[in-house]
């Protein structure tokens, strides 16, 4: 249940169209909703941070992911699932036909209504990544932000191996309100970006790279040891986490 639905419910009570006991029965589900013995769904997260609970589908069975998404779909107009393998997506779509799937970001989405299209004057997040191999993480971040109605600008394959490519995006970078910098290998892109812009920079290390990348540990340590100020770092391959952090910043700007 989101803020709009609660307003509708309270208005209906005020107008006498819904009884107090019926309203109480609906509100009892606000803290969480039990789903069998494998999930307790946070039904009022949207009231706290402007985003309903997302479903991390990785490591869940197709049946579990489908059941959770279906229950959230009963209570929210917009539902999001992350890290969805293609086979699981086909299973979910066979049972929830309204679900859309993007194979690059591995996001599955459900929405009953479209949010207003952001204008070119709105605050925006710039998502940059070092190389094409980082696209799945970059698109996870970008599409999550777009799903909740934010303006997103992209600049991909602008890693430090060819620094002139990044400098060609300097105007857009400097005008951004938040920058998400995504990189594997040694992860130097985040420090370089943070040294160029005045906006907060969210570093996302990826598991892309050869052996000494250590599955993303090398860029993680590089970003944590950034010599540029104004950098925060999320976990390896965590495009979703970066998007939520950027969303909270833009939400504060909007308020």
Residue 10 lies in a domain: no
Residue 16 lies in a domain: no
Least confident of 43-47, 104-108, 171-175, 181-185: 43-47
- Same domain membership, residue 153 and residue 100: no
- Same domain membership, residue 80 and residue 51: yes
Q: Provide the 3-class DSSP secondary structure of residue 39.
A: strand
Residue 140 has pLDDT above 90, yes or no: yes
d(CA 80, CA 141): 13
- Same domain membership, residue 219 and residue 139: yes
Residue 133 lies in a domain: yes
d(CA 237, CA 121): 30
Residue 7 lies in a domain: no
- Same domain membership, residue 244 and residue 186: yes
The mean pLDDT of 49-54, rounded to a whole number, is 70
User: Could you give the percent of the chain with pLDDT greater than 70?
Assistant: 87
At residue 78, the pLDDT reads 86
Tokens at 166, concatenated: 């990044």
- Same domain membership, residue 135 and residue 191: yes
Residues, the chain: 255
User: Could you give the percent of the chain with pLDDT greater than 90?
Assistant: 63
Q: What is the mean pLDDT of the chain?
A: 88
Question: How confident is the model over 82-100, as pLDDT tens digits?
Answer: 999 999 999 999 999 999 9
At residue 54, the pLDDT reads 85
The mean pLDDT of 13-28, rounded to a whole number, is 76
Secondary structure, 3-state, 211-255: HHHHHHHHHHHHHHCCCCCCEEECCCCCHHHHHHHHHHHHHHHHC
- Same domain membership, residue 209 and residue 149: yes
From residue 80, give the alpha-carbon distance in Å to each of 53, 55, 164: 8, 6, 36
Which residues have a Cβ under 8 Å from the Cβ of 68 and sit 6 or more positions away? 35, 39, 41, 55, 60
d(CA 19, CA 13): 6
The mean pLDDT of 42-48, rounded to a whole number, is 60
- The CATH number assigned to the domain holding 134 equals 3.40.50.1970
Which residue, of 76, 111, 146, is where some domain finishes?
111
Q: Is residue 129 within 8 Å of residue 138, measured between CB atoms?
A: yes
Q: Residue 199 belongs to what domain range? A: 124-254
Which residue, of 86, 111, 136, is where some domain finishes?
111
- Same domain membership, residue 67 and residue 171: no
Question: How confident is the model over 155-211, as pLDDT tens digits?
Answer: 999 999 899 999 999 999 999 999 999 999 999 999 999 999 999 999 999 999 899
At residue 181, the pLDDT reads 97
Residue 184 lies in a domain: yes
- Same domain membership, residue 93 and residue 135: no
- Same domain membership, residue 206 and residue 92: no
pTM for the model: 0.82
Q: Residue ranges of the alpha helices (H) in the chain?
A: 3-14, 20-27, 45-49, 62-75, 86-95, 135-147, 163-167, 170-175, 189-194, 217-224, 239-254
Work out how many domains the chain is built from and give that number.
2
* Confidence class for position 36, pLDDT limits 50, 70, 90: low
The better pLDDT of the pair 34, 240 is held by 240
Residue 117 lies in a domain: no
The mean pLDDT of 121-148, rounded to a whole number, is 95
Which residue, of 67, 88, 111, is where some domain finishes?
111
Residue 2 lies in a domain: no
Residue 15 lies in a domain: no
Q: Is residue 67 within 8 Å of residue 37, measured between CB atoms?
A: no
- Same domain membership, residue 106 and residue 219: no
- Same domain membership, residue 229 and residue 208: yes
- Same domain membership, residue 171 and residue 100: no
Tokens at 250, concatenated: 């833009």
């Amino acid at each position: 249940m989101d803020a709009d639905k609660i307003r509708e419910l309270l208005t209906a009570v005020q107008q006498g169209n819904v009884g107090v006991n019926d309203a109480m029965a609906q509100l009892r589900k606000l803290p969480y909703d039990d789903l069998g013995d494998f999930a307790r769904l946070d039904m009022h997260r949207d009231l706290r941070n402007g985003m309903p609970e997302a479903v991390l589908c990785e490591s869940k069975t197709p049946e579990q992911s489908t059941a959770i998404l279906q229950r959230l779909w009963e209570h929210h107009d917009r539902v999001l699932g992350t890290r969805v393998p293609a086979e699981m997506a086909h299973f979910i779509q066979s049972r929830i036909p309204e679900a859309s799937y993007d194979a690059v970001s591995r996001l599955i989405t459900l929405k009953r209504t479209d949010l207003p299209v952001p204008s070119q004057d709105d605050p925006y997040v710039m998502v940059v990544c070092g190389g094409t191999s980082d696209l799945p993480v970059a698109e996870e971040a970008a599409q999550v932000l777009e799903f909740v109605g934010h303006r997103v600008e992209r600049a991909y394959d602008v890693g430090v191996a060819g620094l002139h490519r990044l400098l060609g995006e300097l105007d857009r970078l400097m005008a951004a309100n938040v920058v998400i910098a995504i990189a594997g290998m040694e992860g130097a892109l985040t420090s370089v970006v943070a040294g160029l812009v005045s906006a907060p920079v969210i570093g996302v290390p990826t598991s892309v790279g050869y052996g000494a990348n250590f599955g993303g540990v090398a860029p993680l340590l590089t970003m944590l040891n950034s010599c540029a100020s104004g950098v925060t770092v999320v976990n390896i391959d965590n495009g979703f986490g970066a998007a939520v952090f950027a969303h909270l910043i833009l939400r504060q700007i909007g308020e």
